[in-house]
Amino acid sequence: MQKKYNLTMNNKLMLTKRQILDLEIVFGQAYTNVIRQYYKSNDSLTYENIIKFLKENKKTKSNSTIAIYKAALKKLIKHKIKDLNKKAIIDTAFSEIKVTKPDKTITKEKIVSKDTINQMMKLSNEKNKLIIQTLYATGLRVSELINIKKKDCKKTIEDNITYMSVSVIGKGNKERKIKLKIELYYKIINTFNSKIYLFETKNKRAFTRQYIYKIVNTAGLKALGTRQVHPHTLRHSFATELLIKDNKSLKAVSKYLGHSSTAITSDFYIHDELSIKDLIKF
């Protein structure tokens, strides 16, 4: 039987649309979207309501999604409560909310071949083609791609190869460098007429995550018929190409992808490093 915990905030935790929007700065878009969804069906944040919310969503959502829902609501409560003793109770309470551990194994269904990616590019207009090409050529996350600014890109020479070294901010606000073929870089800024962002709209703003998801999925459906392709599919495909087909080291690939540990990437034997020649061939 589930224990009861009194996690209700004083006067009930009600959030206005403005307050929820402000949380996006602290929590990020994914967690904020969970909070919005929670308040559509609940008028206060209580342990019982959280259990009910997660239980209802388990019927239609994946284990990975439920894990995100749980983490977002826990973070919201801890963000609002300052009492350390109460925070300890929250940790205990949420540890008793059992969520099946997501299967993060990258199967062949989660990647696409280079031929498929070439077909996706062929079926897209020039701008969308360059976005798809860059996602696959770098293994970038969508959030990283859309936030790259021109000032983040620096011409670099290594092993007699000239390329663009691009600074990106990944998960955990960690900065890393990715390599971009210089011909691709100039094609991007000329096609998008980039002024501030590497990829920017006609209004000189960054593209939204939703837009990038839409163009990748649309191209995937055109190329494959029924199967959906997401931006992260291209990231998985990039990593698989380096790890499996090119036999590059787990440690090097993990670092390049911005993973916090090699365990997240896979359990491969560490034996070498990536060279610039490996990274700009795509």
10-residue mean pLDDT series, the chain (282 residues): 48 58 70 85 81 86 82 81 69 74 55 86 96 90 91 94 90 82 96 96 92 92 84 79 58 53 42 55 57
**Active-site residue, from 70, 75, 129, 141:** 141
Say whether 129 is catalytic: no
Q: Is 253 helix (H, G, I), strand (E, B) or coil?
A: helix
Distance CA 282, CA 271 (A): 23
C-alpha 50/C-alpha 169 separation (Å) is 32
259 has catalytic annotation: yes
Is 205 labeled as catalytic in the residue annotation?
no
The predicted pLDDT at position 216 comes to 92
Question: Would you state the pLDDT for residue 195?
Answer: 94
Q: Is 36 a catalytic residue?
A: no
Residue 9: its pLDDT value, please? 44
Q: Counting beta carbons within 10 angstroms of the beta carbon of residue 140, is it exposed (0 to 12), middle (13 to 18) or buried (19 or more)?
A: buried
Q: Is 18 a catalytic residue?
A: no
| 230 catalytic per annotation | no
* pLDDT for the residue numbered 271: 36
Q: Give me the torsion for CA of 29, 170, 65, 137, rounded to 10°.
A: 110
CATH topology of domain 108-279: hpI Integrase; Chain A (1.10.443)
- d(CA 240, CA 244) in angstroms, rounded, equals 5
Provide the residue ranges of all domains of the chain, joining segments of one domain with +: 17-95, 108-279
Calpha distance 116→119 (Å, rounded): 5
| DSSP code, position 149 | B
| Per-residue confidence (pLDDT) for residue 198, from 0 to 100 | 96
